[in-house]
Structure 1
């Protein structure tokens, strides 16, 4: 039986643009999807760059004007991996054209913008997805199942960290991530720490933020320098609605760290520890183990942790970052077909941006704030 086609337009072909393509091409080979996914049109900043991307990534058409994608009635889904400050304009144009939107995080520079995008999508009835693929890791699903089943007892504490070093060099150039209209470590990678915290422990009710700019200026690429106003490190103490307390940190100047997306959860009966640097492993401590035999045990990802088994039949052989993107795409495509809820829609993206802004405001004002 022939499946209907879901035709995709991609804007941006950098790191995340390629990751989206890997997800779109891998997901149909791993999951039984309700659509055939077609790479229709790719947009990049110049005609030459767009054509190179078309040939390399396997799209049928290329354009240097992203509006071409919005105007094409054949395209069903728009995948946005452009700089953060452009997410709002592009998303609203896609929504107005009745297209589904898959937008990388952060959803928008301001919570007010994210709200506008969310309301527009809900009013138009299109399906949305924000790129938080770390949440698609079977080990995170296992951790949440253990917490919800009471295996850790009452949750008392949480620590989350997302640290990388891609901005550690003070001579590194000013980029779109340093623009106040769409940058900062807390928004860029601290958002992952916040999403994971709520995924595991439920809603955050109050925050106390501390956002710090360590590198005050960067080369502007024209022989001069440009002032940096966004944070290089964003931290927050947390109070969860459940009564648990905790902390998170987003840090893009953590020398030597390439991908440290870590968490620890402490309960009355046990604890969990996880690191993205070894993300096929979850460590579990249980107080039920007898004295002299206690310690963190290693839970290794395998076919018992769905959907790992669809990628590999053997435990310990591991899945990777782009496999998480394939899982994210599969969930989103099923939601478009009405076969499940959107895994992480614009409203959830709005929630993360609201948390980010509340932490930033708390840092400026030097006081605890409730999350609206």
Structure 2
């Protein structure tokens, strides 16, 4: 049996510890790298990070061929650490996920398991077709996901798992799977890329996927300078995040959702606060505010319920945004503030790319498209000051010399 080093487990909360701007920016840069070349899937990568900081698990639901796996793998590559991935089926044996019986122990009358390189020792995990697992597999997973402890036979091991992402083509209809599905607090529902963006999809499909940063990517572990270490520091800060200011607003939001028919259990209501705290620290704050309420639709269990949640909470999330998770915040809040944050970050990245490369027609077209989107989305009189400066830089970049 292999022992799991406690050095790689999430860091405990430390009194007075706060997330640094450098940590939040490191995570934002990793998310941006993972999302480069993904069309309309950036939000999936961003919610992976949100859940990793919150210490919650994520379920991604969508039809085959919609790049669910690609988005998750890219973000996992940027997070680094020990990664485990498996495609479950009806005949998947528990040993395929959790490790084989330790034969040496068995000869001595002990039923223990060899977990090296398997799910119990993973820091980031991705389970595709997660609801196809057998009863034996799912029952063992329940304890691992909920308690971060692997129990099987005489083997009892603490797990260093930060996040498990489950993927499925559709939600299960079997009521027996409800308890297992509930272990995934956040849900992201993926649709095929819109027809209007097909050319962008085709162009992106011709480019190679970005490589993981050797300092932060797969295999880097939780070293002092790695992305996973930054996630751990932010997770500790999220556990200490001040939620007092936002609690009345969260209560109002949850009452509205229940009144509208969105099923929110007491457990999901309480755990939603972890997503709010994670959003705050990823935005560089130690106190949660109305700016972080954009995460609430994530806890609605179905795609229709999430759409209803966005409509029901529209006025409460109108000022919600996040500097690091710009696509997810905009997609879930549909707020002007979130759109401004996303345009500011993406336009800044385009300008930096344009300045670092020889001028070409593709670069100019992307700058012009960003400029058109800013002008279509904002009245000049209401343009946020930060975005006004970026707009001026875009105009200068596309203007003839």
Instruction: Report if TM-score (shorter chain) is over 0.5.
Output: no
TM-score (norm 2): 0.28
Q: TM-score, normalised by structure 1?
A: 0.29
Which structure dedicates a bigger proportion of its chain to strand? Answer: 1
When you count helix as a share of all residues, which structure comes out higher?
2
